[in-house]
Each structure stands twice: as C-alpha cells, then as structure tokens.
Structure 1
Amino acid sequence: MLRKNYMGMIIRWRQSLNVLPARGLSKQVQKTDEDEDDTKPSMSHPTRHAFQKLAFGDTLLSQTMMKVKSKKTREKSGLIMLEGRRIIQEAIDAGCDPTSIFFSRTEDLDMLTLPQKTLKIYKTPYNEMKVWSNLTTPPGIIGIFKKPPPIPETRSSLSLTLICDQIREPGNLGSMIRNCAGVGVRRVILTPGCTDLWDDKVLRGSAGAHFKVRVHSDVDWPEIEDLVKAENSKLLLAAAETSKNGFGRLLPVIPYSTCDYSTSHNFLVIGGETESLSNAAYEVAARTNGSILTIPLANEVESLNSVSAACVIMFEIRKQLKSQPC
C-alpha cells in the first residue's frame, strides 16, 4: 500500500513537469518536418508552378533515377541528373533542356527561373529523395535534363586546350573542369580512360563549370594527334622529369615557367593520380615535337597532384598570353 502511494506521487510529479505525455496520447508519434506529408503543398509557401503530387511509395522517381545513375544507363537514355537548385539553374541559363523536376519544398521550386515550355514537375516526399542521393544532407530538388552537347567555343578564350588523360577520380576531374573554366581555356578533351563527365561527383566538383567551358568526352589519341597537327602545334606533357616511357626519354624537359607559350596553340596534357600519362600521350608528343613540362619543387617533394599541377601551369600560360600586346 505504501509502495503504491509512493509510485502514484512520482507519476503525478513527473506529469506536472510535462515529462509524461497526457493519457491517450502516449502511443502517438510526433512528426518531424522531414516526415510531414510532402504530397501536400505548403500553405505558407504556395508555388507559382503547376505540379503533380507523388504519394509516398510512388515508383516514378525510382524509375527515372534508374535511367541516370550509371554511365551505361545515361548513354542509353540520353539523360543526366542534376541535384541542387544552383546547378539546375546554371544548366537552364546555359540553354540545357530539362524534362522533369522533382522537389520536396515549394520554396526551392519557386526560386528557379524555369523555361517557358511544358515541363513535368513532381512534389516528392523528402525521404524518397534521400534514398537516391549520395549527399549526407540532400538539397531536396533534382532536375532531369537531356544530355547537352559541348557548349560553343568563345572568342575570348585562351589559346589553350587541356587534355585529361586517364583521370579516373571523379572529384579530381570535376575540380579540373572548374579550374579550366576559371582560367578560360578554349576547350577540355577527355580521353577514353577518364571517368564519366556526367558522374554526380564530377558535377559536384565542377560547381557548374560543365556549362561554362567546352568539354569533349571519349576522344581517342589518333583524333587528338590530327587536331594538334591541324593547329600546327605540339603536345606539352605535365610529367616528372624521370619518365620510364621510351618515347619520354626522347622529349626535351623544360621547367614550366621558362617555356614560351605564345608561339602556337597550347595542348597541355595532364595524367591521373595513379595511372599517370598513357603511352599514347608520349608517342603523340614525340611525333609532334612535344616537350615535358616540369614544376620545380622544394623539400624533396616529388610531385604535385594532377589538379594542382594543371592549375600552376595553366595560370602561367594565362599570365604569358594576357601580357601579350593585342
């Protein structure tokens, strides 16, 4: 009896502190913002765009994502996926053709300036979108676009082409494309050994630079050699001085800062972190009277990573070409 009264006192005390839920509500589960019914438009954020509401468990998003999540399916469908409001808007501003938009918050949708065309827009539960995102905190908006062709070359671009050879780390390739856009190169060429241009990690690393610089994918070395000869130019290989390649031993080695980049169009070749430059790169360089460019380093550091090496040399080329009289 004494124990029963004591337990009753504890329960009444905890209820007075709002520790225990009221009777009849103990089995209810409180919803968070993410668990809210995303199939209903928010009354505080009415959208100006017409959209279709997808219920939780609807397979439309998963069916669409299956068409864009791998290089093979992207090539088959001709579609790409862009995740995040900023990169979606940059693609639209660049003239890319969206086919559908999936979003979870109406305010994100309303911040987009969409093209004046028939566009399929779907409001999707946030937890459904999380399943298909590689990000820790997904932005909650996805754009599906037709794969765009390379953007046109601009007259203001530098007399420089960057050739990415066997760059297989997506983040490195994305950063490389971003740096090329910042430098203002004429074009970027990817050899068949590179990772896919439209991989989601490449897209994130480039921060929208895909739509600011001309990029050609899967260009083989015979085609590159023809292009170099058509420009009456030569290959410049960013490589260590001690090359094990037989053709590499025949090439002159020049510190990058002493090379004159104003005599012809520059074709700079950067290799991957692990694979480095391919044998084909050395062979084409030997047949076009090319050179090996080195970057002198201190403290017995052997080499820079591919992104850093490309940046150092490209900005030296930019400095020399911009200092030339018009």
Structure 2
Amino acid sequence: MATYIGRMRCLFSLERAVFLSRGNIFSVETKRYVRGLRRKPVRVIFPENEKHKGDVKQAISAGKKEAKVPLRAEQHPGDRGDLKTRNSQISSATVKSNETDEVPFERALPGDKRLARLVSVARSRTFREQQGKVLLEGRRLICDALNAGAVPQTIFFSTLERLRELPLDKLRRAALVKVKFEDIKLWSDLVAPQGVIGIFSRPDASRLRFEASKHSVPLSLICNNIRDPGNLGTMLRCAAAAGCHQVLLTKGCVDIWEPKVLRAAMGAHFHLPIHPSLTWEEVEDHLPEHVGVYVADTQKSLEVNSSHKPSDFGWISTTRAHRDSHLEESDSDEEELSLPKVDAAAYHNDWARSPVALVVGGETYGISVEALQLAEKKAGCRLFVPMVPHVDSLNSAMAASILLFEGRKQLLNSTQNSGKKRRNNAGQRLS
C-alpha cells in the first residue's frame, strides 16, 4: 500500500503518467505544478475480506478528531471561531504567582477600545469626579495604591512578567486585560512606559491605610491656590518625606489625581491623608484644636496689618474663596477687605513647638485673605526664607520643602527636650 502511494506522488509530477492496474494500460493527462494530494485527499481502497479494514478506518477517524486541538491559553485566538467561542477561550486564561495561586485574565481582541476609552475619560477631571475613577500608571504607583487599600477595577498589562510584579492576591476582584505594548505606549504619559496601567476607584483618604503614619509629626500642610500640577505634586512628595500628619487643599487648587500631579508626587497620595477641595471652614475643622497656623511669605520688610489692602501685596490674592465666580470685583469690594495683623519671622526661628499648620500659596495667585485671617486667629505669623539681594522669590514647592523640614526638625527637638525634662523631673522626685 505504501509503495502504491509513493508511486502516485512521484508520477503526478510528470505531464503524462502511465499506470498499470491488473494488466491494463491507461494514460492520464496531468497539469504541471498541480499537486493532486492537496486538492483532494487520497482515498484508500481496501481489498475485500481485509482483516484490519475496520481498525484502519477507526484509526483514521480518531486521527481526525485528535487534530482538532483547542487553543492554549497562551495562544492568540485570531479569527478562529465566533465571538462567543473566543471570549470563552480568553476568559479561561490564568497567570500563576506560585504553585497554588491563580488569577484569571483575558486578552484584548483586535480592535478592543477599552484601553483607549478608559484612559481618555480618566484624564478628564469631570469624569473622575462624576464616575469616581482615577488612572494610575507604573508598577510602583499601583503597588502603593494596592498596599494602601485602594480598590482596583481594571488592570491593563503587556506581559505576564509585568503582571507578576504586582500583588496578585489583591487583584482578584479586578478585571485583568492583556494588551499589546504598542497600545500602552500609545496612551501612556510616560517617556518610558512600564507596560502596566490601572483604573482604580477614586480613593477616599479616610478609608486608606498609611504605613508611614507611625513616623509622622503633628505638622499639617495647607495648599492654597496651587494651580501648577508639577508644584503640587512636588509639595505632596515633600510633605510625605517630612512626615506630615496630613495635607489640606483649598478650593481652587489643581486636582490631585491629574497625571502630572501623580508623576511628580511619586506615590505620596498613598503615604499620607490628602483632603482636596475644602472650604476654609472645613480646613479649620480638620485641624487640631490647639494648633498654630503659619503662612509662607516672600517678603519680610512690610508688615501686614489692617491699614493695607490685598492689592498692596503681590503674594495675597484679591479674590475671596467664598465669593461667587460670576460676580465681578469692584473697588468698593476691595476696600471692604481688611487684612489682619500678622507679623513676620525667619523660618529658622523657634516656631514649631506644638502642633502646627503651614499655608503655602501658589506663585501666580498667592495666598487667600482667609489664610491670613486663620493665621491671626491661631496666633501664627508669616515665615520667610532669607535670600541674597536681587532675588525675587523661591519656587513654591522649594519654599514648602524648606519650611516643612525645618518644622519637622523643631518638632522632633521639642519632643526630645520634653522627654528629657520629664525624665529629669522623675529622677529628682525619686532622689
């Protein structure tokens, strides 16, 4: 039988083939370069009374069934089958973090627009506030969010290695979607994308866990009129590094979940509580009862008191936070604004002995009049950093970092001195 099939394969390449069959001679006209075996399968004719005829047929039919091997989880389904079949094959894929831990994931089909749609809408502040979703990119930022207790909704990743770098035990309720790296690179804000993007529920500071809270000091940062995303992100990063107790943002500041703010903050959102979009009444409610409020200032020569108007100082905003945006300011309104008396002091003076709060304003609009009123009410003052002549001012983020670390140093020294006094008094009583 094998010899017969071999003869057929050899003779099909000739223009005219001659076959011998039971003594008869007949010729077959064939065309060059046409392979008959590809056009039609060879039909094997068994002689009558062949013993293994049934066994061979069963073997052939079994071989055809075994040829229909289902796609593996690692293979791309391509265009094979209908949409339901492909979805069922995709949803069965899993990734293992160890021998016992498995997390299901799915592959994005060609033309899947979920990544583009979610990334585009998550960059909108209106969508973030209405839908309660934020976008986090990069392994470190996503890990910090998961460790703090943020709730993931969808994780897009390019390779399984990138997915295994995340804590898989905290991703069981999230939708994991494997996409091409080119798609992530197209929608990424990073110069060198890491191949992982996460869509999270908008975190609430009151529900997150902050591991760095045990190293914090009673120091609060109040951001007022910070409109630059890079400056705000840097200030949040400095506040986390200095061990601030919390960060309070007044209305008018840039959204803390802007992509530029997230990049500059380097995960600070998940290292300390951040309360955005607060009125000055809400700011005061978040502060301890006995707290000193200090305002970062760029000038030391002029004294701020009731005889001055806000327009006399470039670092004081003439727009009141509680005034409606559709009302225009008039001269009479400006004259009605009276500035409280707030003295100035160098930043290295002894000002942080008990819980304190530092107000830092934006470079364009400056601080609000309400900030000075709160500083007067809480027995605070204006803090400035001495600089050489002919230098206008420092960047708001740089000034905040200098004042925050100085405040931390003074608070720690005050705590150590208080501890020494208590130990000395206890030793004197024992003696």
1:39/1:54 contact within 8 Å kept: no
Structure 2: give runs of 5+ residues left out of the alignment: 1-73, 78-93, 97-102, 305-312, 317-336, 420-431
User: Which consecutive segments of 4 or more residues in structure 1 shift more than 6 A?
Assistant: none
2:379 corresponding residue in structure 1: 289
In structure 2, the partner of 1:258 is: 349
Equivalent residue, structure 2, for 1:5: none
Instruction: Identify which of 86, 100, 103 aligns with 2:140.
Output: 86
On the 8 A contact 1:81/1:145 being kept in 2, the answer is yes
1:225-264 map, 5 Å: 225-228=284-287, 231-241=289-299, 242=302, 244=313, 250-262=341-353, 264=354
Question: Which of 202, 215, 218 is residue 274 of structure 2 equivalent to?
Answer: 215
Once the two structures are superposed, the pairs formed by residues 269-308 of structure 1 within 5 Å of their partners are 269-308=359-398
For 1:89 and 1:310, the matched residues in 2 are separated by: 27
The residue number in structure 2 matching 1:124 is 179
Instruction: Report SS of the residue matched to 2:403.
Output: helix
Question: Is the 2:294–2:383 Cα contact (8 Å) retained in structure 1?
Answer: yes
User: Helix, strand or coil for the counterpart of 2:277?
Assistant: coil
- CA distance, structure 1, for counterparts of residue 342 and residue 134 of structure 2: 41
Shift of 1:256: 1.0
Distance 1:53 1:221, change over 3 A: same
Output aligned runs, 1:22-101, within 5 Å: 40=76, 47-48=95-96, 49-101=103-155
TM superposition shift of 1:298: 1.7
| Greater mean deviation of Cα atoms: 135-144 or 311-320 | 135-144
Partner deviation per Cα, 1:253-304 (whole Å, 9 max, x = no partner): 1111113210x31010001121111222123223333311111012432211
Question: Could you say which structure has the higher helix fraction?
Answer: 2
Selected match of 2:249 from 169, 190, 211: 190
Change (3 A) 1:286 1:321: closer
Q: In the alignment, which of 401, 404, 407 is matched to residue 317 of structure 1?
A: 407
Distance, in Å, in 1 between the alignment partners of 2:133 and 2:75 is: 26
1:159 Cα deviation from its structure 2 partner: 1.2
Of 166-175 and 133-142, the range deviating more from structure 2: 133-142
> Judging changes above 3 Å, is the alpha-carbon distance between structure 1 residues 282 and 39 closer, same or farther for their aligned structure 2 residues?
farther
Alpha-carbon separation, structure 2, partners of 1:149 and 1:86: 20
> Partners in 1 of 2:146 and 2:387 — Cα distance?
43
The answer to whether the 8 Å contact 1:270/1:310 transfers is: yes
Aligned counterpart, 1:20: none
Counterpart secondary structure, 1:87: helix
CA distance in 2, matches of 1:90, 1:233: 31
Selected match of 1:180 from 216, 239, 242: 239
**Which letter does structure 2 place at the counterpart of 1:271?**
G
The 10-residue stretch of structure 1 (239-248 or 68-77) with the greater mean CA deviation from structure 2: 239-248
Identity, in percent, stands at: 37
* Structure-2 separation of matches of 1:172 and 1:284: 23
**CA distance in 1 between partners of 2:156 and 2:295 (Å):** 44
Normalising by structure 2, what TM-score? Answer: 0.61
Letter matched to residue 134 of structure 1:
D
Structure ranking higher on relative contact order (CA contacts 8 Å, 6+ apart): 1
- Matching residue of 1:26: none
Contact 1:247 1:286 in 2 (8 A): no
Out of 106, 112, 132, which is 2:160 matched to? 106
Distance in 2 between residues matched to 1:187 and 1:118, nearest whole Å? 30
How far off its partner does 1:247 sit? 5.4
* Alpha-carbon separation, structure 2, partners of 1:126 and 1:221: 45
Aligned length: 283
- Check whether the contact 1:252–1:292 (CA below 8 A) recurs between aligned residues: yes
CA–CA distance in structure 2, aligned partners of residues 226 and 104 of structure 1: 45
Report how far residue 90 of structure 1 moved.
1.3
Q: Which amino acid aligns with 1:310?
A: A
The answer as to whether partners of 1:55 and 1:125 remain within 8 angstroms in 2 is no
**Farther-moved stretch of structure 1 (239-248 vs 133-142):** 239-248
Q: CA deviation at 1:110?
A: 1.4
**Take 1:247 and 1:314, find their aligned partners in 2: how far apart are those partners?**
29
For 1:239, give the aligned amino acid: D
Map of 1:171 onto structure 2: 230
Provide the secondary structure at the position in 2 that maps to 1:201: helix
Partner residue in 2 for 1:135:
190
Looking at structure 1, the residues matched to 246 and 177 of structure 2 have their Cα atoms a distance apart, in angstroms, of 36
